[in-house]
Amino acid sequence: MPRLFGAAALLVALVISGCSAGNPPASTAALTAPPGGVLVRISADRLEFDTSQLTVPAGKPILIAFENKESAPHNVAVYTDSTLAQPISIGEVFSGPDTKAQQLGPLAAGSYFFRCDLHPNMKGTLVAQ
C-alpha cells in the first residue's frame, strides 16, 4: 500500500510539473531589433494603445513588439493613411496577456496610420523620418 501512495504522489508531481513547464508568453524584453533596424514597443490595455504616435527611422527594417495586456483580442495594422485603402502590415489578432512580434518596413519617410482592426477607436500615427 505505501508503494501505491508513493507511485501516485510521483505521478501527481509529474503532472503538475508538466503543466507548469509550458512556454510562457513572449516578453517584449526578449525581442531584439532586426539587423540594421529598430525595435518599437506598443501595448494595449483597457481598449487603448499606450501611445498614439510611434517614430521610426526611414529606410530601416522595423520590428513591432506588440503586447496585449488584456483578454480582449487586438492587433496592430499599419496603413498608408486613415482611408485604409492600402494596408502595409496587418498584425495577427490575438488575446492576451501575450506578446507578438510583427515585421514592418523599411518605410519611406512620411506619416502612416495604425490602428487595431477590431477596435477602430484604437489608432495613431507612425512617423518614419
What does the pLDDT look like over 27-57, one tens digit per residue? 555 788 888 999 999 999 999 999 999 999 9
Q: Give residue limits of the domains in the chain.
A: 25-128
CATH architecture under which domain 25-128 falls: Sandwich (2.60)
* Predicted local confidence at residue 31, as pLDDT: 86
pTM above 0.95, yes or no: no
Q: HEC profile for the chain?
A: CHHHHHHHHHHHHHHHHHHHCCCCCCCHHHCCCCCCCEEEEEEEECCEECCCEEEECCCCCEEEEEEECCCCCECCEEECCCCCCCEEEECCCECCCEEEEEEECCCCCEEEEEECCCCCCCEEEEEEC
